[in-house]
Amino acid sequence: MIGTGEQLAAADLPLVPGRTETLRLLVPQTVIQTRRLLLRWCRDPLTMVQSLVFPALLLIVLNTVLGKQISTFSGTSALYGSVPMVALVGVMSGSLAGAITLGRERDQGLLARLWVLPVHRASGLTSRIMAEGVRILVCTVVLFGVGVVLGFRFEQGVLAGLALFGVPLLYGLGFATLVTAVAVYSAKTALVEAVSLGSSIMMFFSTGFVPLAAYPRWAQPIVAHQPMTHAIDAMRGLSLGGAVRAPLLATAAWSVGAIVVFAVPAAVGYRRASRR
User: Half-sphere exposure of 2 toward its Cβ, with a 13 Å CA cutoff?
Assistant: 14
Residue type, 106: R
**Residue closest to 223 by CA, chosen among 242, 194, 237, 202:** 202
Give the pLDDT of residue 223. 94
Task: Identify the weakest region by mean pLDDT among 79-93, 121-135, 136-150, 226-240.
Answer: 121-135
> Is residue 15 scored above 50 in pLDDT?
no
Give the pLDDT of residue 19. 56
Give the pLDDT of residue 4. 47
CA dist 115 and 109 (Å) reads 10
DSSP designation for 50 = I
Handedness of CA 265, 261, 219, 229 (dihedral sign): negative
What's the pTM value of the predicted model, to 2 decimals?
Answer: 0.86
> Is residue 109 scored above 50 in pLDDT?
yes
Q: Using a CB cutoff of 8 Å and minimum separation of 24, what contacts does 101-104 make?
A: 101/40, 101/41, 101/44, 101/46, 101/47, 102/128, 102/180, 102/183, 102/184, 103/183, 103/186, 103/189, 103/192
Count how many residues are written for the chain: 276
